[in-house]
Amino acid sequence: MSKRFENRNVLVTGGTRGIGRAIVERFAAEGANVAFTYRSSREEADALIASLTGQGFKAKAFQADAADFTAAETAINEVVTDWGSIDVVVNNAGITRDGLMLRMSQDDFDAVVGTNLKSVFNYAKAAYRPMMKQRSGRIVNMSSVVGVMGNPGQTNYAASKAGIIGFSKSLAKELGARGVTVNVVAPGYVETDMTGALSDAAREAMLGAVPVGRPASPDDIASAVLFLASDEASYITGHVLHVDGGLAM
């Protein structure tokens, strides 16, 4: 039985933990050759590569600062050179440096916007020409419910995630006629290491605002990403897919 991404070449930024790792593993299980980037978690990256190759999957890892355009070009070019094409780019890398605007430093603002938004530009731009030449491709960018609704103490994060939505809609209009789609996934409250550190009271408050009454799993988000990257979504572009249990209604 054929798999949805048999012989497709995929690159995922921020692929070693949480949502990123779930996306990498799901693409591999669906037949893709998967490359991923990571910033500092070398042991986790090595373990993921060992796991994937041990199952017979083709995989690559790139240590890179997501905000570095040269690193993005290097990764995309190596995938194209070694595997022959770049079929899917998932821009998942992201950080938070929360704090009320009154006390937020310029460094905190710049770091979050650089990692979360500039990285989307970097990897989309690096893949732009190869995908245009192929006349096919999928770019899926990870935003957040915070980019849609806002959240106190996260002006930097909200700005970066809202920027991803506007960027993606504009790029979708540029690339649509070339067979390349650009879409956005906007997760809500996801059960990860980061949210696991919340107090019980904070967790209950967040869940109380989610109509379905539970957090998302990383696999819930990965399912949405794989759908938008698949042939089934070939007529969907410039769309923001909310995967938030109804939080942003």
Cα 26–Cα 244–Cα 198 angle in degrees, nearest 5? 90
Which of 128, 157, 189, 235 does the annotation list as catalytic? 157
Q: Of the candidates 52, 58, 59, 2, which has an alpha carbon nearest to the alpha carbon of residue 35? A: 59
Beta bridge partners of 11: 35, 89
Q: Of the candidates 10, 201, 12, 164, which has an alpha carbon nearest to the alpha carbon of residue 91? A: 12
Can 157 be counted among the known catalytic residues? yes
Core vs surface per residue 109-124: b (16+ CB within 10 A) or e: bebbbbbbbbbbbbbb
Q: Which residues are catalytic?
A: 157
